[in-house]
Chains A and B, each alone.
Chain A
């Protein structure tokens, strides 16, 4: 037997578990090396951002001789007609009709026929002229012939009057709301972590307010801070409760609302009295919560802050279905949601009510709010004049991308929780049937059910029977809500265990 065959035999004799372990080790090593490489690259990735009326763009910053440098051609190219040529150690830049001349290794340059001090040596690398960041503000001002402001430490350059200013104001509404108004539309990236909401403005020429630290007379949102670094500006809003951001006024206004935490909700935002009649909803609050009592079934277990998130569908400019009797679905859904909250709280179930007022929320906002507070179950409330009784829906999932580890595909986030949702629907179905309410258990392609990463249901409440009064009848709403609450209570343990 030759050596090649011997190896093949040896390989065949290796236990399959060992082979898998070896392959896994190899895979993990490659993954770790790739991650380290990526981290190293991102750590070294210094950027300088230039804001102008023509464009906002970002260019790489390189370190030479302890100084930060950028390519001058790249810095100016997007704002006008520019060309450059190198002859030996000399480098000429032509912008529109003006010429500038630089010499490799010299800190003196000629710009528009006048001497200019670069504050560090000009460098020429493979025909590419690079200049110190420290001199870029004055240099670009000379070349472009207009005002240019450099925020050197943050590596941000503002050409002309492009800066965006903002104001921040707390409203006295409950829950507390911080309204930030900007002088131009903004499009920040938003991230949250416990107690913080961060908005990173990488393409918006946002500038600091009078003071980088803002304080507010609010326990839920006590402060915010402004910071700019590495070519972007960031606003961090600090809160003692989960914070949610929503955009309005053509992205000129960002409203940040705090979910009222259990301890702050005591007293100040106790459960409001039931409002069984479908009336026009009042002005904000956006969301409201009541304190989650300790679980009577699982006193020692660390429970989710809210067992249930109740979502009154539609709202604001989205009226939903035009119901019989001139009612609008958004109003009846809110009325039903409030009664359901009351019924759940009466059974010791903590509830967060999304949309406790006449506001417009997108489906993505509703899903984000829900996923951030990690409830045991999400219930969207709809109303209809078609058919009779209650229809309970679980999600018909659309085709989505793949989830990868901790990154869950947004469109199919519900996929891992469908059986839990089914459990919740079955519990409610049984209790409603016990109350002689006609009930159907269905599936529907209904957002945001598919985006919810916990048990999720929608209930569509129709009149009790043909020819009977509409769904806004208080006694009927009470009957439905108590059935749903009983149903949830009956499967509470299974839902909590399933999480």
Chain B
């Protein structure tokens, strides 16, 4: 029996497999490199969509309150993209030099999922939680700011849940409980207490 064609076939297949492996390895390295650089910059809100007035509820460390701030940003008509755009705009404020409530470098809102009926799942990246300052008030301000901003500008959100890198996490930075989900009305009550107690 002539086994030459068989050996040749196997050799070609091995060669192709090696080439594919090398190509995949290069692709993987390129993707991981891209990821590490993408987290160093805040993500800008989507440029598409109409520019419209919104109210951002900005945490202010000096007063320990939320300050409503009128702004105009380009927002998509899609509710989910709108929610993401709003929160990314808010986070970019916190990452700016003159931030009233500084967040750790690389903090980002990865995604917002709107799950009917009325549940918004806010997925933060690991830098957001790992780099967050620890403390009951400072963590509470962050949560209240995100929830009040999204619920004031995206209709129909009644409950919120936070994830970090797509996973449940016990606390934001040692205090604010992220393991449960919260009624927006409860968070609003909490935000009102922040205003009233000053």
List the interface of chain A (C-beta within 8 A of B). 314, 318, 320-322, 329, 363, 382, 384-387, 391, 393, 396-400, 411, 440-447, 450, 458, 460
Report chain B residues within 8 Å CB of A411: 180
| Cross-chain pairs A/B with CB under 8 angstroms, 22 sampled | A321-B134, A321-B174, A384-B135, A384-B137, A386-B61, A386-B64, A386-B137, A386-B138, A387-B61, A387-B137, A391-B137, A396-B186, A397-B186, A398-B177, A399-B159, A440-B197, A442-B140, A442-B190, A444-B175, A446-B136, A458-B136, A460-B135
Given the interface pairs A386-B61, A444-B140, A447-B179, the reply to whether A320 lies near B193 with Cβ below 8 Å is no
Contact check, B190 vs A443: say whether CB atoms are below 8 A apart.
Answer: yes
B134 with A398: CB separation less than 8 A: no
**Contact between chains at A445 and B180 (CB < 8 Å):** yes
Q: Given A441-B197, A442-B140, A446-B176, answer yes or no on A396-B134 (Cβ-Cβ < 8 Å).
A: no
Per-position contact with A for B118-149: 1 when CB-CB < 8 Å, else 0?
00000000000000011111101001000000
Q: Is B114 an interface residue (CB 8 A)?
A: no
Question: Which chain B residue shows the least CB distance to A445?
Answer: B177
- List the interface of chain B (C-beta within 8 A of A): 61, 64, 133-138, 140, 143, 159, 170-171, 174-177, 179-183, 186-187, 189-190, 193-194, 197-198
Q: Quick check: A314 and B182 within 8 Å, CB to CB?
A: no
With a CB–CB cut-off of 8 A, which chain B residues contact A443? 186, 189-190, 193
The residues of A that contact B190 with a CB separation of less than 8 Å are 396, 442-445
A-B contact sample (15 more), CB < 8 A, given A386-B133, A445-B176? A314-B174, A382-B175, A396-B182, A398-B179, A398-B181, A399-B183, A411-B180, A441-B197, A442-B197, A443-B189, A444-B137, A445-B143, A446-B175, A458-B136, A460-B137
Do A393 and B177 touch across chains, with their CB atoms under 8 A apart? no
Q: 7 nearest interchain CB pairs?
A: A398-B180, A440-B197, A321-B134, A443-B190, A445-B177, A384-B135, A460-B136
Determine the chain A residues whose CB is within 8 A of the CB of B182 once the complex forms: 396, 398-399, 445
A440 adjacent to B198 (CB under 8 Å): yes
Chain B residues contacting A318 (CB-CB under 8 Å) are 174
B184 smallest CB distance to A (angstroms): 11
Task: Give the residues in chain A near B61, CB-CB below 8 Å.
Answer: 386-387
Contact B135 A399 (CB under 8 A): no
Instruction: Note all chain A residues with C-beta closer than 8 A to B197.
Output: 440-442
**Would you call A321 and B135 a contact (CB within 8 A)?**
yes
Please state if B64 and A441 are interface contacts (CB–CB under 8 Å).
no
Chain A nearest Cβ from B60, distance in angstroms? 11
| Contact, CB under 8 Å: A391 / B180 | no
Residues of chain A within 8 A of B143, CB atoms compared? 445
Give the chain B neighbours of A396 by CB distance below 8 A: 182, 186-187, 189-190
Separation in Å of the A338 CB from the closest CB of chain B?
A: 20
Residue of A nearest to B191 (CB): A443
User: In whole angstroms, how far apart are the Cα atoms of A411 and B174 in the complex?
Assistant: 18
Residue among B137, B187, B198 with max Cβ neighbours from chain A (10 Å): B137
| Residues of B contacting A321 in the complex (Cβ-Cβ under 8 angstroms) | 133-135, 174
Smallest CB separation, A445 vs chain B (Å): 4
Min CB gap A324→B, angstroms: 12
- Contact between B64 and A387 (Cβ–Cβ < 8 Å)? yes
CB distance from B33 to the nearest CB of A (A): 32
A31 CB to closest chain B CB (Å) equals 31
Q: A382 contacts which chain B residues (CB < 8 A)?
A: 135-136, 175
User: Chain B's nearest CB lies how many Å from the CB of A24?
Assistant: 33
A445 near B183 with CB under 8 A, answer no
Chain B neighbourhood of A444, CB < 8 A: 136-137, 140, 175-176, 190
Residues of chain A with a CB closer than 8 A to B171's CB: 447
Residues of A within 8 A of B134 (CB): 320-322, 329
Could you tell me the distance between the alpha carbons of A363 and B176 in the complex, rounded to whole angstroms?
A: 12
- A382-B175, A442-B193, A445-B143 given; A399·B136 CB < 8 A: no
Instruction: Indicate whether A441 sits within 8 Å of B174 (C-beta atoms), given known contacts A329-B134, A397-B186.
Output: no
B175 surroundings in chain A (CB, below 8 A): 382, 444, 446
A399→B170 CA distance, assembly (Å): 15
* Closest beta carbon of chain A to B137's beta carbon, Å: 6
- Shortest CB-to-CB span from B147 to chain A, Å, is 10
A410–B138 Cα gap in the complex (Å)?
26
- Compute how far the CA of A18 lies from the CA of B140 in the bound complex, rounded to whole angstroms: 52
Contact A442:B181 (CB < 8 A) given known A321-B135, A396-B186: no
Q: How far is the CB of A452 from chain B (nearest CB, A)?
A: 13
